[in-house]
Each structure stands twice: as C-alpha cells, then as structure tokens.
Chains A and B, each alone.
Chain A
Amino acid sequence: MSGTVAHGDAGASAPLAEPDDSVLVRVDNLVKHFPVHSAGMIRRVAGQVQAVDGVSLTVRRGQTLGLVGETGCGKSTLARCIAGLVPVTSGQITFDGHNITNLSRPAMRPFRREIQMIFQDPYGSLNPRRRVGSIIGDPFAVHKTASGAARKKAVQELMERVGLNPEHYNRFPAEFSGGQRQRIGVARALALRPKLIICDEPVSALDVSIQAQVLNLLSDLQSEFGLSYLFIAHDLEVVRHVSDSVAVMYLGRLAETGPGKQVYDQTRHPYTAALLSAAPAADPDAAAQRRRIILTGDVPSPINPPSGCRFHPRCPKAQHLCAQTEPQLEVKAGDPDTHRAACHFPVQEGEMLARVAGRERR
C-alpha cells in the first residue's frame, strides 16, 4: 500500500472546510445514540447509549483508514452509520461530495453501489440456504445491472478474481472453509465496483495464516480497482499492515488519529500506548523487553460515560483536569499537523507508562 500520508481529521464541532478532491468520505461530528427503554408496560426512554459521540474523520481516495478500539467502543456502529444501515442522530456524512446523511432508501440506492461492506463473521454473513452463485450475484440482481447468463459470467469472473474455483458456483456456503467464505464476502462486495469498501473486522474470525491470504487479496484488489477502505479491526498488527492512516476510538470518541507510522511510533494518547503494549509481539526478545501497561477497571458504560476525558478513570496519567475538561483532538508539540490526539497530558517519547501505573510486566 502507498506510503502517502493520509489523515483522519477530527474536531469536536467545527466542520473542516477544505474542499479537497482527494477526500472520498468525510464524517463530521457524527453522533449516534441508541435509546434505552425502561421495562414495564409503558416504555419510556430511560437513557441513551452513546455509541458514537462526535466523531469526525476522512477517508482519502485509494487509501486505507484503519479504525481500532476495544469491543463496544462504537467502531462497528460508526461503520453502519457510514453504510447507511442505521440512521444517524446528528452530524454529517459526505461521500464523494454528496451529503448522504439519513437518506431515504430510494435516495440512498445509487450510493449503495459505491459503498459496500465486508462483514466480520464469514459464517453469519452468508445466507446458508442460498447457493454461492446467487449470493455473489445478489448485487447485480438488486441493482438490475446484469441477469441470466451475463450475471453468471460476471459472478464466475468475480469468483476467479478472489481466488475461488468458479466451478463451485452451485455450492452452498456450508461447503466452504472460513477463508473461502470470506472470499465470497469479498467477491460480493466487489461486484458493483464500489469506491469504498467498509471492512468490519474482516479477518478477526479467521485463522492467522488465512488472515494473511485475505489481507493480501484486499491489498491486491485495492491497487487493481483503486478502492478505498475503512478498515475496522482490533488487531493492531493487522491495522498497521494495511493502513495508511489510523484512528483510535475509545467509548464513542476518537482518542488519536494520524498516519500509521506516527500513531504507532510516536504515540501520544495513553490509551493508544496501552493498546500497543498489549498487542502480542512475534519476536520473543522484543516481547521480553516490553513493559505492558495494564489498565485497571472495566470500560465504563456508554449510557453514562465519565465526565471530562472519557478515559480518565482508567488512565495511568490522569489528573484533576482530566475529570473536568474534555480534551479536544489537536496536534501535540513536535507532531506533524496530521497527527492529533485528545489528551491533556500526552505521552512523551521514551516515557514509561507502566511505572506510572505502578504495575510491572508479568
């Protein structure tokens, strides 16, 4: 993948007015709250799950934005908002210069062809009762772009392109392995030649050796068709491998964004540092030298998030200010202006967070 710098812009409110042709998707201050109903006969709204709470980012043409964060931090909700699968509470999504926020189904239809999704679970995302050929042919059938023999031919070409035997057209999903099923998902997403593919943890359900195959396939397809990816994962190594830029999410907000190398090597946010320190390293010598930052406590409830910085109850560097004022996503001293972090006390180079936390590596 190209080493060009792409940035995930972010800011609490001000829409970044920068009419840039290289931007494919711009998300401005996106908010998605799910109402929580009280039990009983008369159901009242008892609270809001603040799944995504003010996220802004951009995906550039032909590049990959990696989105990382723990389970439940709102990554998948953000993806579903961009794909138009769930209505947005507030904020704006711009795709290719068009505002696609909360469009009606017919109005969204042309954009469905441009935005496709690859799902996490290769077992759950394919209908077990339908033949693979008809699953991959679905996009053609829905958009009425090809039928009959033309559709069959297109499907078989797609199957060949993603590394499946086109003769297996008439098989059922159950007759394929996990990696092959994910290839079916890729073929389906590729069918209409979209501009953006949202990959919602496309490899986390797969065996490590199969992960590499699918990642290489995605990478090849990107250069062949000029695709842009929004790549969601919780495996930091996978994200490092595929992404041009990275956005780190915590509890519905962005903690840190920037070019992959910046975020990984000059980490500013303590949460990013903790995530990175928890990732397993393949080299045992490097692993022995690392100090893990062990976060205490659980992820707070998104119904009632902590005041100020949402990470402060678990942060080894937290101070009084963190509980009171919410940090803005901004460029920290010494960083290029594409690298932003939302932290009052950003991590400095060479700083040992593990000691601050008072815990040693086990």
Chain B
Amino acid sequence: MSVTELEFQAHAVESAPAEAIEGRSQWQLTWRRLLHDRMAIASMIVIALMVLIAIFAPVIASIVGHGPEQAFPNTGTTVSGTPVGPGTNGFVLGTDYIGRDLLVRVVYGARISLFVGILTTAIATVAGVSIGLIAGYFGGFVDTVLARFIDSALAFPFIVLALALAAVFSPSLTIVIGVITFFSWAGISRIVRGQTLSLKEKEYIEAARSLGAGPWRIMFIDILPNLMGPVLVLATLYIPTAVIFEATLSFLGIGIPEPTPSWGSILAEAQTYYQIAWWYVVFPALALLITTLAFNLLGDGIRDAMDPRTERIFAAARARKGRRKKKQGQAAADGSAELAGPSAGTR
C-alpha cells in the first residue's frame, strides 16, 4: 500500500567516530580560509606592527632620546631655520619646522590614529548594530523614525558640523571622537536594518517566537549571530575611514590640538615646507597610507573568507600550485602538497 507503511528503522543515525564531535563554527572556518590569504596575513602583520609601535612609542622615544613635543633648535634645524633631513644629527627621519624629531612624532601619531580609529569604530558599531536591529525588528513606527534618523545622519555635511563644533568648543580629542562616531554609526545601522528585515522573516525566528522568546532575546541571540559576518567586515573597513577622518580634521586644524602629534596635523604643517623638506610630508603620509591600506586589505580578506564561494577559488589555487610543484619535481617528497598550503619561497 502506501510507502509510509514500509518497514524502516527509526534510528538511522550513522555511528560517527567519537572524536568528530565538535562542529566547526563559522569563525573557525573563516579563520582557516583567512590563513590561506597571503594579502590578509601581510595586512594583519602590518597592523600588529603598527599597534606595537603605538604601544611602545615612549620606548622608541627614549631610545632615540627625543620627546614627541621636544624641540631641538640647535641640532634639529639648519642655520637658516629649516628642518634637517633624515639621518642628520641622530634624527632618523629628519625633523619638523621647529626641530622636533619626525620619527618620534610619527610614532606618537600612530597612537592617536589607531586609538581614534578603533574607539570610534567600536562605539559606532555598537550603536549602529543596536539601532539597526531595533529599527529592523520592531518595524512600523519605530522603524520609520529610526530610518529617517539614519538618513539624516548620512545626509549631514560632516565638515560643516565639525567646523561648527570646533568654533563653539575648542578642538579636543573628545570632539574628534564624537564627530567621527556620529558620522559612522549610520552606515552600519542601515546595513544591519536591511539584514534584520530579511532575517526576521526566517522560519527559525518564528520557531523562537513560538517557544515564547521575547523580542530582545530574538534580536540578540537569534538574529545577531547571523549579522556578525557583515558587521565584522564593515567594522574593519570603517577603521581606516575613521583614521582618515581624524587626519582630515587635524589637517584642517579642528582635530587634535597642538602640540600633540597627529598625522593630519603634521601633514598640515608640512604644507609650507615640502618643497625643501620632502621627508616632512612623505613619512607621515606613508604611515597613513600603510595603515589604511592594511585595514582595507584585511577587510577585503575577511569578506572573501566569509564567503563560502571563495573556498573553491582557494582550493583551485592550491591545486594549481600543487601541480606546478610536481612539474618542477619538488613535490616528489611530500605527497600532501595540497594540504601543506603556501610555503615561502615557492612562487
């Protein structure tokens, strides 16, 4: 008669080996893929170095024996009062217009840049995710109000606001952090809101509701883990934006007040000297470039690693490499060339 009446064993669970119990989480898989991305590894190393430099800035300053705000009018400037070049009188990267050590100032600038970049992104991410989740999940009137708020924050001319604030209050680190945060959360909010709108229609959300879970539990336990991927990518890409933002504000003189070194304010000072002192503009700009580039490349790498489709690209690349190795006769010894991953020197 009907197929359902055929005899089947109800317990068809295959007996899996006992050690294969722990499932791999999304993060473990992402991390494994990320480790195959040489560009991402290089970016992580650069970022780690930058962070170390920022942390140990006072150590570097004591090694060279120059404070960040200490001017050396005698050794640090030429007879005509211009900056001295790299390598002169113990100034590794040269000096600035009043004879301060450029190396120490750039190193101390990393502190401000990374601190502002990471702190503002952290605040903006928490605020953006919360507001986006609430707007998307509750919908209706709440969503209308919050969505318009997001739109207006995105439509605001940020330089104008920063100039206005700097005119009212004197420029300070707090204002810089406030302004950058204010212009960063909305972008994250918009993405999170959109994702929440689609995620809340999933059947597992309905399942959670049928269990009696409240809105906060659903938002933070059921929806948030599904959002963490895009949010992490977005946050990584917001850090360099915030670093540039801080540099822009300091360049315009409405950021970190003198004499605290910031890459933006060093670049602003360098404007009048770059024709006679190339190092004055090149080194802070290079620091800014390397930092933002590293964060951007890392963000790209994380995005690729999150995307399951890129797994195949990596697998294909590994297979190609394996074949090439064999052709060169190097792979005779190791049969597991494919799994060994990229080894340095083979290119």
Most chain B CB within a 10 A radius of its CB, from A127, A172, A208, A211: A127
| Total A-B pairs, Cβ < 8 A | 123
Q: Which residues of A contact B24 (CB under 8 A)?
A: 172
Total contacting residues, chain A, CB less than 8 A: 58
Cβ of A290 under 8 Å from chain B: no
- What are the nearest 3 A-B pairs in CB distance? A112-B212, A171-B23, A124-B203
Contact A117 B207 (CB under 8 A): yes
Query: Is A163 within 8 A of B11, CB to CB?
Result: yes
111-166 of chain A: CB within 8 A of chain B: 112-113, 115-117, 119-121, 124-132, 138-139, 142-143, 163-165
Distance (whole angstroms) from the CB of A241 to the closest CB of chain B = 5
Q: Which of B2, B206, B228 gathers the greatest number of chain A CB atoms within 10 Å?
A: B2
With contact pairs A163-B12, A165-B16 given, residues A125 and B212 touching in the complex (Cβ less than 8 Å): no
User: How distant is the Cα of A139 from the Cα of B207 in the complex, in angstroms?
Assistant: 10
Q: For the complex, what is the distance from the CA of A211 to the CA of B6, rounded to whole Å?
A: 11
* 24 A-B pairs with C-beta separation under 8 A: A83-B210, A84-B210, A112-B211, A115-B210, A117-B207, A119-B203, A120-B203, A124-B203, A125-B203, A127-B208, A129-B226, A131-B23, A143-B211, A164-B13, A169-B21, A171-B21, A171-B23, A180-B13, A209-B6, A212-B4, A212-B5, A213-B12, A241-B4, A282-B3
B225 contacts A179, C-beta separation under 8 Å: no
Q: How far apart sit A213 and B8, CA to CA, in the bound complex (Å)?
A: 6
Write the nearest CB–CB distance from A126 to chain B, whole angstroms.
Answer: 6
Of B4, B209, B217, the contact of A237 (CB 8 Å cutoff)? B4
User: CB distance B13 to A165 under 8 Å?
Assistant: yes
Instruction: Return the chain A residue nearest B19 by Cβ.
Output: A167
B22 contact set on A, CB distance < 8 A:
170-171
Chain B, range 199-246, C-beta contacts under 8 Å to A: 202-204, 206-214, 217, 221-222, 225-226, 228
Q: Which among B2, B23, B209, B213 is the interface contact of A241 at CB below 8 angstroms?
A: B2
A101 to B256, CA, bound (A): 61
A352 interface contact, C-beta 8 A: no
Closest CB of chain B to A344's CB: distance in Å? 32
Contact A142 B2 (CB under 8 A): no
Using Cβ atoms and an 8 Å threshold, which residues of chain B touch A240?
A: 2
Which among A215-223, A253-261, A291-299, A319-327 touches the partner chain?
Answer: A215-223
Does the CB pair B210–A112 fall under 8 Å? yes
Residue with the highest number of chain A CB atoms closer than 10 Å, among B3, B9, B23, B226: B23
Contact A85 B8 (CB under 8 A): no
Does B198 have its Cβ within 8 Å of any Cβ on chain A?
A: no
Residue contact A126 to B204, C-beta cutoff 8 Å: yes
Residues of A within 8 Å of B16, CB to CB, are 165, 167-168
- B205: min CB distance to chain A, Å: 8
B 1-42 to A, binary, CB cutoff 8 A, 1 in contact else 0: 111111011111101101001111110000000000000000
* Docked-complex contact B23 and A170, CB < 8 angstroms: yes
Q: B148 → chain A, closest Cβ, in Å?
A: 15
On chain B, the number of residues with a Cβ less than 8 Å from chain A's Cβ atoms is 39
Contacts of A241 in B (CB 8 A): 2, 4-5
* A220 contact set on B, CB distance < 8 A: 10
Contacts of B5 in A (CB 8 A): 212, 241
- Are A216 and B8 touching (Cβ within 8 A)? yes
Asked whether B211 lies within 8 Å of A142 as measured between CB atoms, the reply is yes
A80 to B210 CA separation, bound complex (whole angstroms): 9
Q: A125-B204, A126-B204, A168-B21 are in contact. Are A108 and B2 (CB under 8 A)?
A: no
B12 A108 Cβ-Cβ under 8 A = no
Shortest Cβ distance from A118 into B: residue: B207
From residue A122, how far is it (CB to closest CB) to chain B in Å? 10
Q: Which residue of A lies closest to B217 (CB)?
A: A142
Q: Say yes or no: A124-B13 contact (C-beta < 8 A), given A117-B207, A170-B22, A212-B4.
A: no
Whether the Cβ atoms of A129 and B225 lie closer than 8 Å is: yes
Is the CB–CB distance between A113 and B25 below 8 Å?
A: no
Indicate whether A175 reaches chain B with its CB closer than 8 angstroms.
yes
**CB nearest neighbor in B for A79:** B210
Q: How far is the CB of A171 from chain B (nearest CB, A)?
A: 4
Q: What is the distance, in angstroms, from A304's C-beta to the closest C-beta of chain B?
A: 26
Residues of chain A within 8 A of B213, CB atoms compared: 138, 142
| Nearest neighbor of A171 in chain B, beta-carbon distance | B23
Residues of A within 8 A of B203 (CB): 119-121, 124-125
